[in-house]
Amino acid sequence: MTTQVPHAVSVALEKGAEQPRIDFPPVTVFRFSSECFYSGIEIYMLDGIPVRIYSPEKTLADCFKFRNTIGMDVVLESLKLYQQRKQKDLNALMDHAKTCRVTSVIRPYLEATL
């Protein structure tokens, strides 16, 4: 949801899960409660392998949740690109914001830009 090239692969893990032990590529781990970890997962088949990827709405809520880690420039660009999407579900976005406990953070940005 951004044009920036990440310095590491981002991985979501449930709290208490063991962190991957690999040397390459660099990995940034984000920890989630069970409720937050399992919400918004979509399954895509890539080369015959099921891959779980968070929905755009969940990803944007996560951007706001980890805004101090990833930087507000990334968050604002993600919000801008999300708003340009033809298919967006603001109700789902607010549901994920509630689950991630960032409703009060994301609401002013949505009100100012919509």
**Confidence (pTM):** 0.87
Helix axes 103-113, 72-84, angle to 10 degrees: 50
- 4 pLDDT more than 80: no
pLDDT of residue 108: 96
pLDDT of residue 7: 84
Mean pLDDT of 73-98: 94
Q: State percent of the chain over pLDDT 90.
A: 80
Domain-by-domain residue ranges, the chain? 9-113
Residue from 107, 78, 96 nearest 33 by CA? 96
Query: Where does the pLDDT of residue 43 fall: very low under 50, low under 70, confident under 90, or very high at 90 and above?
Result: very high
